[in-house]
Amino acid sequence: MKRQSYQCGLDAAMDVIGGKWKVLILWELHCQERRFGELRRLIPGVSEKVLIQQLRELEADGIVHREIYDEVPPKVEYSLTLYGTSLYDALGPLGFWGERHMERAGLEHQLVVTRKPL
């Protein structure tokens, strides 16, 4: 449940993106729509239950759009809304800082060439 008041804008933003998987969901949706199974494969370690929960929260916040196609078998795709794209864009500087932090701390990270950097 969302709070009714916040200390500052960062506090409000963290209420939307808080949780282990939401930023990674945004990352995976930033350049194209994805089906649930794709998201599950692209985000290692996330359980089906948690992914469903986090997608529902992002949808309720107006960040993610869920498109249901009238097909057999059923097809559902997730994409960022314009509001979600604005959030992704706002996270870009944080991603850049994170890259510098990993370098500074000597931390390893996987660079996946098929994805655009933040």
Q: What tens-digit pLDDT sequence spans the chain (118 residues)?
A: 577 899 999 999 999 999 899 999 999 999 899 999 999 999 999 999 999 999 999 999 999 999 999 999 889 999 999 999 999 999 999 989 988 998 888 887 665 544 444 4
Question: SS3 for 116?
Answer: coil
CA dist., res. 56 & res. 74, Å (int): 18
In a domain, 51, yes or no: yes
Domain around 26: 9-90
The upper half-sphere exposure of residue 107, i.e. CA atoms within 13 Å in the direction of its Cβ, equals 10
* Reported pTM: 0.83
In a domain, 33, yes or no: yes
Which are the contacts of 88, defined by CB distance < 8 A and separation ≥ 6?
A: 26, 27, 30, 80
Q: What pLDDT is recorded for position 60?
A: 96
Q: What pLDDT is recorded for position 109?
A: 67
Tokens for 65, please give them: 């759009």
- Contact between 65 and 78 (Cβ < 8 Å): yes
CATH no. for residue 26? 1.10.10.10
Question: What's the domain count of the chain?
Answer: 1
106 conformational bin, left if phi > 0, alpha if psi -120 to 50, beta if neither: left
Q: What pLDDT is recorded for position 117?
A: 47
Q: What pLDDT is recorded for position 24?
A: 95
In a domain, 15, yes or no: yes
In a domain, 3, yes or no: no
